[in-house]
Amino acid sequence: MWMSLLCAGGQGRAEERIEGPAINLLVFSSRTALVASGIAPILGQNFSARIETFTAEMPSGVESKKTSDPVRYSAVSFLEHMRGVRQDGVMLALTDAPLYYPGFSRVFGLSQPSYGVSVVSVAFFGSREGDLCERAVKTATHELGHLYGLAHCTDPFCAMFFSYGLSDTDRKLARFCPGCEEKLSINLERRHMTWLER
């Protein structure tokens, strides 16, 4: 219940847009299922989309490496394993697994727009309920934005601003700046998403 309350108050202007493709949330634990239930209404409003949630087991064969911290998993490998489970629309996985990417030891999220898949890791978002939900919805909005054809934005308050750390994520909003909002509306109207062409 607390997730729904903390994430209440949609951020987008969905009433001005046509309905977008479905967003399929893939969850791997009770914690990420709770996060998904809290952020789904905002994602649905931000992207004018129907949200479906599916439960799955952590994909086997995802590359990992042992660090001084617990094992971390390759975000790229994670996305490659997701390609085979993608439903109609786009797929966003919410995982507890700590992710890495070459040059980044801590990855909050990663997208592969050509396949319509994204992953968000809540491993580094802290244990406070409010922080977890806010950071998850901002990161999910950012990664889904890439799937809907949006690039990084220079506005530090826009969801499409690149987060170098949690301070960037905490500062930005779970919505788009007017420029990114306009691009999203155009992309939805023209169905301009690379994964739709596959």
DSSP string, 99-143: EEETTEEEESEEEETTTTEEEEE-TTS-S-HHHHHHHHHHHHHHH
Tell whether 13 is covered by a domain.
no
Comparing 79 with 15, the larger pLDDT belongs to 79
Full-model pTM: 0.86
Tell whether 196 is covered by a domain.
no
Q: What is the mean pLDDT of residues 158-164?
A: 96
Q: At what angle do helices 129-147 and 30-46 cross, to 10 degrees?
A: 50
Tell whether 29 is covered by a domain.
yes
181 is catalytic: no
pLDDT (0 to 100) of residue 14: 42
Of all residues in the chain, what percent carry a pLDDT higher than 90? 52
**CATH number, domain with residue 29:** 3.40.390.10
Query: Which position among 63, 134, 143, 189 bears the catalytic label?
Result: 143
Comparing 89 with 46, the larger pLDDT belongs to 46
Domain with 103 in it: 2-8+18-189
pLDDT (0 to 100) of residue 58: 80
- Give the count of domains, the chain: 1
Comparing 164 with 194, the larger pLDDT belongs to 164
The pLDDT tens digits for 7-34 are: 443 444 444 555 667 899 999 999 999 9
Q: What is the mean pLDDT of residues 174-183?
A: 96
Tell whether 72 is covered by a domain.
yes
